[in-house]
Structure 1
Amino acid sequence: MGLVEGFSRSTLRQMTELYEGTTKNGLGAVLSNLKSFPKDATLGTLVSGFLVVLVAVTGPIVIQLTAAKNGSFTDAQTSNWIFITWLTSGLFGLFLSLRFRMPMIGSPSTASMVLLVTSLQAHSINEAVASYIIVAVTFIIIGATGAMRKIMKFIPHEIIMAMLAGVLFQFGVQIFTSFTAEPWLVFIMVLVFFVARRLNVRTPVVPVFIVGIVLTVALGKLQFNGADLFWVHPQFIQPDFTWASAINLALPMVLATLATQYAPGFTVLRSAKYQPPIKYSILTGGFISLFTAPFGNTGVNTSTITANIAVGEHADPDKTTRYTAGVLCGIFYITAAVFTIPIIDLFNMLPPAMIATIAGLALMPALANSLHESVAGVQGREVAMATLLITISGIQPLGLGSPFWGLVAGVVLSAIPLRTLKN
């Protein structure tokens, strides 16, 4: 009888671990959750998963198109890049959501894509791919060793956020420089954005995009261009490893991704009463990124802003079935990847002023948050401002970009001992 009871407890424990996502049996967890997915999915998780991807194809894609233009990418290279980032974001979220039974949302690093907007003017796509490989290997090491906390402790969070704010700064400015080209279009889009923010709309960039499309058609600004292809054909890109690209691209990308993607992404999950699988998330993102970097993938990681759409009670009141939002998000991401070229063709029809405005408005919350966090500490404000201004300046001593010099200045200045005055 004791043997039967022991066996029953063991079986019960295994079933509980599978249900809660805490089991060490990865394949068993995936198969179990995949089997229960059809009955666990709800309309709320379906809508949430769709909204996450809708935001991705109306905001970050604009940043990618801008970076690709600055880097003189061919049409094939541009579509290849966007395709691989959406595909891997979908696979990342799909696998981890089924493995750990929680809404894990994947996304490319927005901060990394923003860095590429300026850096690709000085580096070739081959150098960029080499940097992606370095970043992926670095994250595999970080995930395996648990070094994330040590790295974040060595470089003050305020300095990283100040560097990011400096990189984002130009996107905010471009909203208003675009006003001279299309005053009514830009004005109404900005107005819609702030009205949506005041009304606490979860995804303000979506109504902005819809209104922008309607106005573009109404004003006769839509530019029809013929498409030669429909399907993306992944292309291998030969990496070119150089010290300059490793310092200008790889180093800022690693730090920015840690500070703006992984760290806040895990915080979002904790706020929803989940225990995020930090090690497995970083390792999964690292390995997926490593294998797809030669095809132009900047890297995949946990989402932050869009993750809020899928992890809260508004997605599903039942915490144990909310993982389906992550699964559905992954499916929608992969579907978007299949239709990459038609989606790019749509954006190529839009006037440049609308593209610049969408990009700026999509990144405005990130810019505001970066500025706020960079000056949150009273004693380090001047150091953060020095980092911010150096990054904005665009200086390139020794051929190294201003984001790198901003980080160097911030680390050196913050290392100066602080004298405490006694009353």
Structure 2
Amino acid sequence: MTAYSCLLRNVVMRMPFHFAHLSAGFIAVLVGYTSSAVIIFQAAAAAGASQAEISSWMWALGLGMGVTCIGFSLRFREPIITAWSTPGAALLVTALAGVPMSEAIGIFLFSSALILLCGVTGWFDRIMQLVPAGLAAAMLGGVLLTFGLNLFVSAQTQPWLVGVMLVTYLALRRRLPRYVIPLSLFAGLAVSAGLDLLHFEQFSWQMAAPVLMMPSFSITSLIGIGIPLFVVTMASQNVPGIAVLRAHGYHTKASPLISWTGVTGLLLAPFGGFAFNLAAISAAVCMGKEVDADPKQRYKAAVWAGVFYLLMGLFGATVVGLFAALPSELVMAIAGLALLGTIGSSLTVAMANEQERDASLLTFMITASGVALFGIGSAFWGLVIGGIVHWLNLRNSLTDSGKP
């Protein structure tokens, strides 16, 4: 733990402090953990994990995401955020039932090795270069739309809480754009305290500790669970993750990012790190104008997200209890407010090119629908179908112009 604490202290001490960067990093982690941390617990329990092993899963995931967020963002000077595979965790909840923990670790190693192979060979990078900017922006808008809508859905149960946060945002977004999100969060916390919506009665601090779990390998498990875990992680997480970067004007090559998430998975799988990938929704929180007017400075928000991930890993056993103390309406509202600007800019880019408009619209609608086919999420299918329509439109336009 000493080396771990030194790494955390050195990163924080060397960073210029801007509260907007810190708050964006915190909100990104808040969104990521509150949306799916419980699924991780369920997946670990499905494999028969003990409390110590579940704590180790959270330790490994926090450590892996923290180190990669900090490393990527400092290396490339872009807001690159990693995450665990949420659809992968959902897959594991059912797939790991009855599977010994040793086989589960073998599955994680196998899937991470496939991710590494995909990055090293450059296959993923070449595929992403074929995705038009309008379609990538439409997919991003579709992914984030639910979060924007949840801002107003949450007002049904807590109108005063959401109303105060929305008024704070609208009143300050032009005067204090860099601080409007944290100030809206503080306003929400103040109202929550006044309405007695904060419940820390069951909260307690507990340090997490790694537990080494040795792998075993079963051909049936590797094919039946390992390959689906790889496909879901790549299609439902890494594709949107790269698309989010591209939609915001960041053009880091995908191959090294994918490769290093695979390496991270190989190193931390024996401790419960089942899959690491690029983030989409939480990453978008760190890429808007509210974070910093200068796009070149927004990487600092991703570094702060990495710091918070490290803290979450260090106190992995207490994470769910911390977020459970906050009202769900507050979490939904702050996520929606933080993403409003990104949703608007995504739709602007998606609909800017008239020739791409119908393909972008289909991509947006399919992605926003949340439909999942064959265990693969709607973001992938939105890009696939939108890409087909785009290709057909391009072919028809060439035919009409007399070109072969």
TM-score using structure 2 length: 0.69
1-side partners of 2:125 and 2:256: how far apart? 15
Alpha-carbon spacing, 1:108–1:133, altered in 2? closer, same or farther (3 Å): farther
Alignment of 1:143-182 (within 5 A): 143-147=119-123, 149-182=125-158
Alpha-carbon spacing, 1:178–1:311, altered in 2? closer, same or farther (3 Å): closer
2:169 maps to which of 193, 196, 199: 193
2-side partners of 1:300 and 1:397: how far apart? 20
DSSP-derived class of the 2:129 partner:
helix
Percent identical: 24
2-side partners of 1:196 and 1:130: how far apart? 51
2-side partners of 1:82 and 1:180: how far apart? 33
1:254 maps to which of 228, 238, 251: 238
1:352-391: CA deviation from partner (whole Å, max 9, x where unpaired) = 2112212222333333333333323211111121222223
Partner amino acid for 2:286?
T
1:77-135: CA deviation from partner (whole Å, max 9, x where unpaired) = 9876665444234323555678x6x756652249x65x67xx83896475999997677
**Structure 1, gaps ≥5 residues long:** 1-33, 268-275, 316-321
Matched, 1:46 2:22: no
2-side partners of 1:327 and 1:70: how far apart? 25
Matched, 1:366 2:335: no
Partner in structure 2 of residue 107 of structure 1: 81
Partner in structure 2 of residue 61 of structure 1: 30
Alignment of 1:206-355 (within 5 A): 206-227=182-203, 230-234=206-210, 241=225, 246-261=230-245, 264=248, 266-267=250-251, 281-293=257-269, 295-296=272-273, 298-299=275-276, 306=286, 333-335=309-311, 337-342=313-318, 344-355=320-331
Which one has the largest radius of gyration? Answer: 1
Q: 1:135–1:253: 8 Å Cα contact kept in structure 2? A: no
Partner amino acid for 1:359?
A
Q: 2:59–2:314: 8 Å Cα contact kept in structure 1? A: yes
DSSP-derived class of the 2:17 partner:
helix
Give the deviation of 1:176 after TM superposition.
0.9
Q: 1:237–1:296: 8 Å Cα contact kept in structure 2? A: no
DSSP-derived class of the 1:201 partner:
coil
Give the deviation of 1:230 after TM superposition.
0.9
Partner in structure 2 of residue 418 of structure 1: 396
2-side partners of 1:301 and 1:167: how far apart? 14
1:332-354: CA deviation from partner (whole Å, max 9, x where unpaired) = 65345424555543321122211
Cα-Cα RMSD: 4.7
TM-score using structure 1 length: 0.66
Q: 1:265–1:307: 8 Å Cα contact kept in structure 2? A: no
Partner in structure 2 of residue 357 of structure 1: 333
Q: 1:169–1:367: 8 Å Cα contact kept in structure 2? A: yes
Partner amino acid for 1:57?
F
Partner in structure 1 of residue 100 of structure 2: none
Give the deviation of 1:211 after TM superposition.
1.4
Partner in structure 2 of residue 13 of structure 1: none
User: What is the count of residue pairs matched by the alignment?
Assistant: 364
Partner in structure 2 of residue 10 of structure 1: none
Partner in structure 2 of residue 12 of structure 1: none
Partner amino acid for 2:82?
P
Partner in structure 2 of residue 140 of structure 1: 116
**Structure 2, gaps ≥5 residues long:** 1-6, 46-50, 98-103, 216-220
Q: 1:175–1:360: 8 Å Cα contact kept in structure 2? A: yes
Partner amino acid for 1:362?
A
Partner in structure 2 of residue 273 of structure 1: none
Alpha-carbon spacing, 1:304–1:83, altered in 2? closer, same or farther (3 Å): farther
Matched, 1:403 2:379: yes
1:288-335: CA deviation from partner (whole Å, max 9, x where unpaired) = 2443356246525596753786996997xxxxxx99999887656534
Q: 2:233–2:277: 8 Å Cα contact kept in structure 1? A: no
